[in-house]
Homo-oligomer: A and B are copies of this chain.
Amino acid sequence: MAKNFSTREENYSQWYNELVVKADLAENSAVRGCMVIKPYGYAIWEKMQAALDKMFKDTGHENAYFPLFIPKSFFNKEASHVEGFAKECAVVTHYRLKISENGKDIVVDEDAKLEEELIIRPTSETIIWDTYRKWIQSYRDLPILINQWANVVRWEMRTRLFLRTAEFLWQEGHTAHETSQEAKEETLKILDIYANFAENWMAVPVLKGMKSQTEKFAGAIDTYCIEALMQDGKALQAGTSHFLGQNFAKAFDVKFLSKENKLEYVWATSWGVSTRLIGALIMSHSDDKGLVLPPKLAPIQVVIIPIYKTDEQLEQLNEKVRSIKQLLESRGISVKYDNRDTYKPGWKFSEYEFKGVPVRLAIGPRDLENNSIEIARRDTLHKEIVPIEGIDNVILKLLDDIQGNLYHRALNLRENNTFSVDTWDEFKEQIEKGGFVMAHWDGTPETELKIKEETKATIRTILMNNPQEEGKCIFSGNPSKERVVFAKAY
């Protein structure tokens, strides 16, 4: 496999597309913009879900499930929300098909037209806040801390596997609180969970900060985000956490009787990460030989490949590997033993290298004699022969090393590609080359828009605890109090 595989330098975009398909992660389906997530790709998503789900539950959140459909009228209740989502939504208008008059085709039954059209959820604030109205009467009903794992649909015109698809999988948290302060704390608590997950599971360093008012979620007061830098110097928004204020409570008339016996609107947050994270994971670590996966999210952490000529040798190897596999699994390591005789060892080596399995063990008759085994790590491609005795501890340490190495490699890349610029010419030049560009901005949406029009760069984030520093806006020359992070983005 991996023949005719583009390199990052030749064509980064093509490298990514080919990698996703050839590593069996996902592929385009017969439905425009919708992907099929193949078992190997889905196994990564399951690992992500398990880690995030535990973090959400450990912080008091519960899962629930709300309808796929949203009545059209719900959208109109929050003005900026409809503005943000109306242009890209799938609309259900009928509930029946019938056989056509010629008896051959199947057509929409016009007698089965819905009175009110239903929208496939692009996000669930509206249907959830319509529900919360029934659940919330008093401060005793608060907080509500709910998360949902679901599919959503946004009718994107230009799609790319994992990064931007018409249907995608995600989690969306929707919480309800007594006070603004409590809702803000929730927003930031989730931002920390997302950053922790990105850095310690995905091995992807992220900037934490706030979006500009132009870039915030349609319906939010403030949107916080984590932003990562890909190998090609483009930014990728990896997760967002929104402080919604009382916007949705007002739109859906959700009030509670406070401890002071006053009727008040409820405060809200919402937050989400999606299968887009898989795109970020791929683009952060992978190389010209294929996928590179961090051990904590790799469906297979260790693959073992037997090297043999005779059936007798294979039998001896099978027996030895059985005990090695058992030992490793007893330490919580996921192991695959590939002793298929339909493929040669060399083919298998490339296969698992291409699929990013963090550690490969190879064992042959001579190893049996010496009680040794060959161990190869995917990140550095380094190989060595080690004793079988104590292999479990060696591998546990190695998996940790790989996890750490991937993170530091990505952190170095980001640090080497983060620039401070002070003039418009410097800015344009650097944005063209790529990377995070820290620059002064006068704080107006007008300037932000013009910079975007001229350079395609957007403000990715305004860092948390951003150092205050007097300066002049790179575009308008007007006074500025802080630098913000610009980049071209996925």
Contact = CB atoms under 8 A, between A and B. Distances in A.
Given A62-B39, A68-B34, A89 B93 contact: no
A51 to B, nearest CB: 16
A91 B69 CA distance: 12
Interface string A60-104: 001111111111111110000010001111111111111100000
Interface stretch (A112-120, A211-219, A456-464): A112-120
Given A64-B42, A65-B169, A106-B75, A89 B96 contact: yes
Given A93-B94, A106-B76, A67 B29 contact: yes
Interface of A is mostly: mixed
Which of A69, A117, A155 has the most chain B CB atoms inside 10 A of its CB?
A69
Contacts of A63: 39, 42-43, 46
Which of A66, A92, A155 has the most chain B CB atoms inside 10 A of its CB?
A92
B91 A146 contact: no
Contacts of A64: 36-39, 42
A167 B447 CA distance: 46
Which of A30, A146, A167 has the most chain B CB atoms inside 10 A of its CB?
A30
Interface string A338-375: 00001000000000000000000000000000000000
Given A62-B42, A130-B30, A140-B342, A93 B108 contact: yes
A127 interface: yes
A72 B97 contact: yes
A293 interface: no
A35 to B, nearest CB: 7
A1 interface: no
A290 to B, nearest CB: 20
B127 A117 contact: no
B31 A69 contact: yes
Interface string A198-241: 00000000000000000000000000000000000000000000
A131 interface: yes
Given A30-B127, A108-B93, A151 B68 contact: yes
A454 interface: no
Contact of A105 (B76, B92, B93, B167): B76
Contacts of A134: 27
A82 B98 CA distance: 9
Contacts of A35: 67
B66 A29 contact: yes
Given A39-B146, A90-B95, A92-B120, 9 more contacts: A31-B67, A42-B62, A67-B167, A72-B106, A72-B108, A91-B93, A91-B97, A93-B94, A108-B117
5 contacts: A31-B127, A36-B66, A43-B62, A73-B106, A93-B94
Interface of A: 27, 29-31, 34-39, 42-43, 45-46, 62-76, 82, 86-99, 105-106, 108, 117-120, 127, 130-131, 134, 140, 146, 150-151, 153, 155, 167, 169, 342
